[in-house]
């Protein structure tokens, strides 16, 4: 059975953990980031989350996690928070950001906190190996992307060489947000569907948790962590003026 791991920083508990992720699904490459200031402004105007709401959600965030970086990343996945009616668009934005909130302790941590885990995320059975070094593929960014094969898949989809330069995820805010959106929109992880599909097709927030952490949290694995995600989701949907929908738990 293939290994399923992607690092999660459970910063809300001042602990580092891991979230499950299946071998990545290959999807068509996204157009590389080429947005101008004008395009970025247009994306900001159409995004269902305003900068003021973003700051309200993350009052203690690390300055690395910029609103402008998130807006820049939107062009990579134009269906994100832009599919269905207005309530669904806002619900998806809230769901993504609630999970990101949990993984990074409120957008505080950029990298996995448990450095002892760093050498663990190199799968030498992959034909492309670990050219950046065995300890280079630890969790980084809003979704705490880890494992060499996930950096390869995300980089291929985004048109960025993340296999050879995984540190871009912790050094470039737009790239960091792009990797989070790559996982959310295209990867089923430890579940049966992507987070995007879970929300826009009405399967519920609980299925987005399952895609990120599977049985580590779901099916009674860690009810407290599930409750923390649901609590953030409820808070963020209220900020965005939408409803949670059903099936909040997994």
Per-residue DSSP letters for 154-183? HHHHHT--TTT-TTHHHH-HHHHHHHHHHH
- Residue 172 has which token pair? 């470039």
Catalytic center residues: 103
Tell me the C-alpha to C-alpha distance, in Å, between residue 58 and each of 98, 182, 235, 239. Answer: 10, 21, 11, 12
Tell me the C-alpha to C-alpha distance, in Å, between residue 11 and each of 105, 138, 162. Answer: 4, 15, 25
- Residue 26 has which token pair? 């290959």
Pairwise CA distance, residues 81 & 88, whole Å:
8
Q: Is-contact 226 98, C-beta < 8 A?
A: no
Backbone torsions φ then ψ of 159, nearest 5 degrees: 75, 30
């Amino acid at each position: 059975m293939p290994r399923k791991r992607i690092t999660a920083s459970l910063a809300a508990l001042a602990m580092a953990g891991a979230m499950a992720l299946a071998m990545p699904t290959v999807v068509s490459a996204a157009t590389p980031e080429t947005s101008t200031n004008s395009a970025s402004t247009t994306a900001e105007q159409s995004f269902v989350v305003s900068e003021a709401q973003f700051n309200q959600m993350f009052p203690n965030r690390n300055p690395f996690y910029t609103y402008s970086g998130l807006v820049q990343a939107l062009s990579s996945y134009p269906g994100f928070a832009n599919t269905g009616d207005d309530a669904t668009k806002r619900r998806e934005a809230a769901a993504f950001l609630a999970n990101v909130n949990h993984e990074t302790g409120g957008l505080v941590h950029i990298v996995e906190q448990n450095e002892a885990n760093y050498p663990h995320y190199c799968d030498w059975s992959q034909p492309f190996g670990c050219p950046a070094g065995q300890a280079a593929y630890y969790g980084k960014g809003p979704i705490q992307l880890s494992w060499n094969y996930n950096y390869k898949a995300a980089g291929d989809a985004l048109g960025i060489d993340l296999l050879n330069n995984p540190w871009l995820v912790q050094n470039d805010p737009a790239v960091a947000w792009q990797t989070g959106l790559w996982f959310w929109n295209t990867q089923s992880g430890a579940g049966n569907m992507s987070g995007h599909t879970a929300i826009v097709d009405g399967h519920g927030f609980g299925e987005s948790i399952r895609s990120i952490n599977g049985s580590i949290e779901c099916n009674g694995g860690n009810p407290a962590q599930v409750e923390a995600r649901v609590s953030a989701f409820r808070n963020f949907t209220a900020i965005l003026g939408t409803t949670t929908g059903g099936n909040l738990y997994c």
